[in-house]
Amino acid sequence: MFVKFEDLKDDPKGQLKKLGEFVGYPFTSEEEQGGKIDEIMKLCSIEKLKEVEANKSGRVYSFIENKWFFRKGEVGDWVNYLSPTMVERFEKIMGEKFAGYGLKL
């Protein structure tokens, strides 16, 4: 299953339902009507993840502080962080890795 960030932003409920089905635990109508999907979406939001203490301190790698791990959570924000050379290299590598899966970058 491929989940793109853009799809999560466009249709978070739909993507979460697909994920539940993919892992073999689809949401029941009671869970959907009871707001379980909305609750999960709130718990997994960028804003909420930024508040988790483990995500505020320490380091992801020796050279990346956790405070820089989450950005704005906006589609297209990558242009503010990646140079054209980095984008070209990323697209080449990902194009090769995902060539046989029908994934469009």
Each domain of the chain, given as residue ranges in start order, spans: 5-101
Q: How far is CA 29 from the centre of its chain?
A: 25
pTM given for the model: 0.62
Assigned fold of 5-101? Rossmann fold (3.40.50)
Q: Give the distance, in angstroms, between the CA of residue 61 and the centroid of all CA atoms in the same chain.
A: 19
* Pick from 43, 69, 41: nearest CA to 55: 69
Residues 4-38 pLDDT 10s: 888 988 999 999 999 999 999 999 999 999 999 99
